Amino acid sequence: MTDKVKVRIDGEVIAATAGQTILEVARAHDKYIPALCYMEGLSAVGACRLCMVEVSGVARLLPACTTPVQEGLAVATTSPQIQSYRKMVIELLLVERNHVCAVCVSSGHCELQTLAQDHGVTHVRYPYNYPRLSVDTTHPRYVLDHNRCVLCSRCVRTCAEIEGAHVWDIAGRGIHSRLVSELQRPWGEATSCTSCGKCVQACPTGAMAEKGWGVEEMTKQRAGVSRLTSMREGQ
């Protein structure tokens, strides 16, 4: 039998199942918590820190995507402090690599761009990093543009957990972290890649795209990737 617990989200009492995360419960009840590295159907890694919420009795903010609910938990999804942190996180993501929306395949359909717009990021207060990064065009059907990668690892988890191929990993540390395919082999030479394209669909930004699309043309089918997991769980 599953354990039912009662939690409070922004004052509203909600019945949840023990083991669910704050983010899952909030989403199921149409409460908005922004998230970037979280994707339904994948394991949660708590990498981007956009989903930070206040939990009463806890002094620091907690990531909603990895914090399980407990009986009596009271969560505030937003506050001036949370908003200012979220804005900061978005701005830091924008300065880390080269985001030039005007020439990006994903402009208009990008989760990072939408987050910036929704959080009133009119400009970025930090100096831009302008790293020199490569674009891997070796795969016959897909492109990986490191300039747009936010290191959310959604592609890594999609390929490992759903496709079962585990082509991707993140190598290096801190600012030098890079997404790598098969121990640094170009994507086109990665023999374990089945060319299923699920990583591309799961990628929240313009970092992964199908070849042949122009600016603003790449739309993604993320729900389809998430659905695969729920269909398998239902078996």
Partner 1 sequence: MDKAKIGTCWLDGCSGCHMSLLDLDEGIVAVLEKADIVFGPLVDAQEWPEGVDVAVIEGAVSSQDDLKLAKIARVRSKVVVALGDCAVTGNVPSMRNGIPTRKLLERVYVEGATERPGTERPGVPTDGVPALLKQAQPLHSAIKVDVHVPGCPPKPSAILFVLSELLEGREPDLGSKLRFG
Kindly identify the residues of this chain, within the stretch 53-82, that bind partner 1 according to CB under 8 A.
none
Span 101-120, contacts to ligand FES by CB under 6 A: none
Q: Which of 10, 20, 27, 46 binds ligand FES (CB under 6 A)?
A: 46
Give least dist CB 145 to ligand SF4, A.
8
Residues between 3 and 62 with contacts to ligand SF4, criterion CB under 6 A: none
Among 18, 28, 103, 171, binds partner 1 (CB under 8 A): 103
Among 86, 148, 220, 222, contact with ligand SF4 (rule: CB under 6 A): 148
Give the interface segment with ligand FES, choosing from 30-38, 87-95, 96-104, 115-123 (CB under 6 A): 30-38
Nearest to 96 by CA among 167, 42, 147: 147
Q: Which residues bind partner 1 (CB under 8 A)?
A: 94, 98-104, 107-108, 113, 116-117, 120-124, 127-128, 130-132, 216
